[in-house]
Amino acid sequence: MKEITGGICAAKGFKANGIHCGIRKNKTKRDLSLITSEVKAAAAAVYTTNLVKGAPLTVTKAHIADGYAQAVICNSGNANTCNANGIEIAEQMSELVEKATGISKNDVVIASTGVIGQVLDITPIANGMDELAAGLGDHSDLAAEGIMTTDTVKKEIAVSFDIGGVECKIGGIAKGSGMIHPNMATMLVFITTDVAIAPELLQKALSTDIASTFNMVSVDGDTSTNDMVTVLANGMAGNAIIDKEDESFAEFCKALNSVTVYLCRKIAGDGEGATKLLECKVTGATDEKTAKTVAKSVICSSLLKAAMFGADANWGRVLCAIGYSGADVDVNKIDVSFESAKGRLDVCVNGAGIEFSEEKAKEILLEKEIDILVELNSGDAKATAWGCDLTYDYVKINGDYRT
């Protein structure tokens, strides 16, 4: 397996584009993206568990109920959520795709992101559709820009790998910076692959993967109304179709995981106002559930996130987060360390503090990527969670997000 260029256009048969159509006032910001496949593709998706759901999710779920799709359209700047005519607008977006590309409206995945409860006018989308479709090509980067809201960097990745001696490719783009605390996926993620795989196995691969990837990311503790991860697999690589859980399925799952883990790290590191990526690695747990519970609790602690912003080795906040996590752990066995490109520093052994250099701690914690290492010393299970520091800018960004 190797990383390649091309993002969502790396896999055979996929094209993409992103434009500014006028949903957002800032004309330098792209706000409409389109992804298409030459042929109908197996499709799988996971959706937010928030009871308040964006209309595009409802429409998408109906469109891919048969296990197939051929295009994805997504707008930014408006979430199309809590709107009386939200379903109608989402359906109209798919109809516009059909008119511009010839792809059936019933094979279109629809997504929206941005402000909740704001009426979405179909006019700019309709006016921009011809330009959007005409510009379809090897433009994963433009599509990645078109789905961004408060994101500060594009999030895209692609890898190549072999299945049965056939070269296959998989790529993805994502958006997510604030309102990130998924219980299924994360803001918006679109993944494309030329692997031939049965829809039911594609869904199983995705549903299994997100439990240890996107569900282990948290920026601010808020679960979005529009969270969705979608995978399209068009089979154009030419491999023997994966229709059972064999070695080929395992290889596909491995490739999918390499893409999702990369996007998880990019999303966490680009949290609203964030200056640092935090990765909590828990080892020595009695079972995976315990490891995940501990890792997620640590990464969600506002006090710890604030300490990491200030490069303060306040390790007691790690133990505090473990203590209220609900996990059944022996607090007298816990070891804690901080690690970055500047080295590793042990700060707690068997649940008690040990002497350490504050100067060395500051040096380690001033880095852009910090690992919080938690050893529970009670078993062999492990888990990883991703988050970011909590800064003054987070409040500034969200204090006037709508206005």
Q: Residues 36, 186, 193, 293: which is the catalytic one?
A: 186
Close Cβ partners of 402 (under 8 Å, ≥ 6 residues apart): 115, 118
Angle of the 123-134 helix axis to the 86-101 helix axis, nearest 10: 30
Residues in the chain: 403
Alpha helices in 117-246 (DSSP H): 123-134, 140-146, 199-210
* Cα 8 → chain centroid: 14
Contact 95, 110 (CB under 8 A): no
Handedness of CA 16, 40, 11, 247 (dihedral sign): positive
H helix intervals, 82-172: 86-101, 123-134, 140-146
Q: Using CA atoms, how far apart are residues 231 and 235, in angstroms rounded to an integer?
A: 12
DSSP, res 137: B
Active site residue 260: no
Give CA–CA dist 40/332, Å, rounded.
56
**Distance between CA 104 and CA 64 in Å, rounded?**
12
Query: Whose CA is closest to 73, among 114, 129, 152?
Result: 129
Cα–Cα distance, 183 to 160 (Å, whole number): 29
Task: Give DSSP secondary structure letters for 268-321.
Answer: HHT-TT---EEEEEEEEESSHHHHHHHHHHHHH-HHHHHHHHTT---THHHHHH
Residue type, 5: T
Active-site residues: which are they? 186
